[in-house]
Structure 1
Amino acid sequence: MHEDDQTMTEEPGNGTLEREAQEWLLRLTSGRATSADADALRRWCSRSSAHAQAFAEANLLWEGLGPVAQGMAKSSALAQAKSARMPALRRRAFLGGSMAASIVAAGYLVARPPLNAWPSAYELAADYRTKIGERQRIAIENGVSIDLNTRTSLNVRHQGDEQRVELISGEAAITVAQTLSRRLTVSSAGGLIHGSDAQFDVRCDGSRTTVTCHRGSVGIDYSGQSVSLGEGRQISYADGGFGSERMIDATVVMAWREGHLVFRGTPLSEVVEEINRYRSGRIVLMNEALGKRRVEARIPLDHVDDLIALVREAYGARVTSLPGGVLILS
């Protein structure tokens, strides 16, 4: 979609603006967007406050229904027929309290949404849940404390002489004393993690779980296999198998507990992906060469957009700001 194609002689109705805003988001997240598209979108948003508001609301909706919209974007019907376009949702449905009911009725609120891009019903019903940018510390028993990172859902269960923690999604740092009244087991994506007198980090991204041992040692059982992870080691498992065990600076992995993100020679593309976990809206990287640049930085969690100033000043990147917390780096 090009801006010139959207020229109108009069202010379009809400339905038209909503549809156009959704089409812009489909373009922006298609992987084929260019800097010219970003400029055209910025001009479209600046036409009126209604245009800017429509894009901001579409972006918030995309945060919740992104995988559904992406699936529609990939269908040939979307590209070839108006009838297959994403249906416009009225503002009153989006902003009103009936939105959740509308989503459920439409069948969008499935047990585990694709790409885990929005909270599932199971996540929303968790014993403990943190929102975007939120952290929480809980003590579930004498000798066990858990720090929850951003966008994390977790359940706590007592099963006989075992204390079971279920990490549904997100990231948790767990500290376990040597002497416990009952054994602690952490379950995540089909695997079981256990340890005593240890401190470790568990991160669950969909079907993939990464375990980092900061102190002591932890055991991991997954798909009929078992590994023992020592201090300063990290391993991931997914799709029925373990990845390669590697040495890691656990203080970097767990720096979020102290309110910082630390990057040491990390490609900018990975930094952007990580930063997006901690902010509303999204940062979109549209320059492949820029994405390969290595980043050395320590960024406060309450100022994650400091990354933007860093990239602009250090690499001369161009930054385009759009409604709804969308920032485009090119």
Structure 2
Amino acid sequence: MGEGDAAIAMDAQDEMLQREAQEWLLRLTSGNVTVADAEALKRWCARSKTHAQAFAEASLLWENLGTAARRLPDPNVLGHGRRSHAATMGRRAFLGGSMAASVAMAGYLAMRPPLDLWPSVEELAADYRTRTGEQRRISVANGVVVDLNTGSSLNVRREGNEERLELVSGEAAIATTQQLPVRLTIEAAGGQIHATEAQFNLRCNGSRAIVTCHRGSVGVDYSGRSLSLREGEQISYANGTLDVATSVDPAVVMAWREGQLVFRQTPLSQVVEEVNRYRSGRIVLVNEELGRRLVEARVRLDRIDDLIGLVREAYGAQVTSLPGGIVVLS
């Protein structure tokens, strides 16, 4: 076999490993993953260094896309006019060039990425975006401050005298330092949140949004209905339904701003889902009974993987670690 034939054979083998790694990712997202699947994946990754590398590269592709997105031009001042032509063209070039270059995974970018391991096209095209585990403070005109949480995307624009934000995905704590001359409007998941003097938390996941009022009052408009939230109240909406407001502890909801997560009698399945927002890779819970166990804990964001040890020690869970930050709990 000549050098050319050997190179072709090597490329074909690499392509096959990439396809298999992507198939493993899809199996993990199927909702039917089992302990046997986890063990089989571990054996597949252990077959060779190239197997493990292929899986790690597939599961961490989102980091490469996030790095490219951070190189895009970023407006220096929020809320004043349209984005520059250079910024718009930069995003177009990125979406049409850098993403298209990721041929092996391009087919998946039209739908929700497996395991949410990388952001969608809409999220990447936002004015401001944070990576997994990153938080960012943004100052908007008229004394509005936005703390953008992990893996979040935000658009900003001004319509007349009104500041308008759009939380495309993720979570943001929004505060006004003074009473605004005109109200602030934030769009999320098909609804609108209004405030003139308030501090509140907004979380958006697909078609669902959760609004928590920490200070002042917040108005919520959704699906033809309107209501006002007072301090310590929370409401969610999705699929055309605006739920009834409930009482919560805003300090727990917004603990992420202090570098920690607080769980009070929370099912482990929900705890894992929350922790996954802050770490690279993914924790996959395959034991339904274990997922129903209630958790009372504080987890520091700079030591987020402490949760894995806590679950192993407190509940006797089996932990299977895989390349790319994938951890299977059973």
Relative to the length of structure 2, the TM-score reads 0.80
1:80 alignment partner in structure 2: none
The alignment's C-alpha RMSD in Å is 2.6
**Structure 2: distance between partners of 1:116 and 1:48:** 24
Residue in structure 1 matched with residue 278 of structure 2 by the alignment: 278
Cα distance, 1:44 vs structure 2: 2.0
For 1:229, the equivalent position in structure 2 comes to 229
CA distance in 1, matches of 2:191, 2:151: 20
Could you tell me whether the CA contact under 8 Å between 2:113 and 2:119 is conserved in 1? no
The 1:114–1:328 alpha-carbon spacing in structure 2 relative to 1, beyond 3 Å, is closer
Counterpart in 1 of 2:27? 27
Deviates more, 1:39-48 or 1:317-326: 39-48
Alignment CA distance shift 1:151-1:33 (3 Å): same
Contact 1:115-1:206 at 8 Å conserved across structures: no
Task: Check 1:22–1:266 CA distance in 2 against 1; reply closer, same or farther (3 A cut).
Answer: same
* SS of aligned partner of 2:237: strand
Inter-CA distance 113–311: structure 2 relative to 1 (3 Å threshold): closer
Q: CA 1:51 to 1:114, structure 2 compared with 1: closer, same or farther past 3 Å? A: closer
Q: CA deviation at 1:122?
A: 3.1
Ranges in structure 2 where 5+ consecutive residues have no aligned partner: 1-11, 66-95
CA–CA distance in structure 1, aligned partners of residues 278 and 257 of structure 2:
13
- Matches for 1:204-219 after TM superposition, within 5 Å: 204-219=204-219
- Alignment correspondent of 1:50: 50
Matching residue of 2:263: 263
Ranges in structure 1 where 5+ consecutive residues have no aligned partner: 1-11, 66-96
The answer as to 2:179 corresponding to 1:162 is no
Structure 1 CA distance for aligned equivalents of residues 112 and 36 of structure 2: 32
Alpha-carbon distance between aligned partners in 2 of 1:328 and 1:134, rounded to the nearest angstrom: 24
Specify the code of the residue in structure 1 equivalent to 2:292: K
Does the 8 Å contact 2:264/2:297 carry over to 1? yes
Tell me by how many angstroms 1:64 deviates.
9.6
**Does structure 1 retain, via aligned residues, the 8 Å contact 2:29–2:114?**
no
> Are positions 1:306 and 2:316 aligned together?
no
Q: Which amino acid aligns with 2:131?
A: K
Task: Give the letter for the 1:100 counterpart.
Answer: M
Q: Aligned with 1:280: secondary structure?
A: coil
State the shift of 1:274 in Å: 0.6
Separation in 2, partners of 1:124, 1:272: 25
Judging changes above 3 Å, is the alpha-carbon distance between structure 1 residues 100 and 309 closer, same or farther for their aligned structure 2 residues? same
Deviation per CA, 1:49-98: give whole Å up to 9, x if none: 11111121232358999xxxxxxxxxxxxxxxxxxxxxxxxxxxxxxx96
Q: Distance in 1 between matches of 2:159 and 2:239?
A: 27
Distance 1:121 1:44 in 2: 31
Secondary structure of the residue that 2:155 maps to in structure 1? strand
CA contact (8 A) 2:29 2:115 kept: no
Matched AA of 1:150: T
Q: Is contact 1:177–1:196 with CA below 8 Å preserved after alignment? A: no
One-letter amino acid of the counterpart of residue 222, structure 2: Y
The residue that corresponds to 1:251 in the other structure is 251
In structure 2, how many angstroms separate the alpha carbons of the residues matched to 1:33 and 1:121? Answer: 27
How far apart are residue 198 of structure 1 and its match? 1.1
CA distance in 2, matches of 1:170, 1:30: 23
Verify the 8 A CA contact 1:63 1:281 in the aligned structure 2.
no
| Deviation of 1:271 (Å) | 0.4
Q: Alignment length, in residue pairs?
A: 287
Q: Which moved more, 1:144-153 or 1:98-107?
A: 98-107
Aligned AA (1:41): L
SS in 2 for 1:213: strand
Counterpart-to-counterpart distance in 2, 1:33 and 1:100 = 29
Amino acid at match of 1:173: A
Q: How does 1:190-205 map to 2 (within 5 A)?
A: 190-205=190-205
Of 288-297 and 185-194, more deviation after overlay is shown by 185-194
Q: TM-score, normalised by structure 1?
A: 0.80
Secondary structure, aligned partner of 1:165:
strand
1:75 maps to: none
Match of 1:317, SS state, is coil
- Structure 1 position 273, deviation (Å): 0.5
Query: What whole-Å deviation, never above 9, does each CA across 1:35-54 have from its counterpart, x for those lacking one?
Result: 22222221221121111111
* CA shift digits 1:230-285 (9 cap, x unpaired): 11111011112201211111111100011111101000000001111111111000
Counterpart residue number, 1:83? none
Residue 100 in 1 paired to residue 62 in 2? no
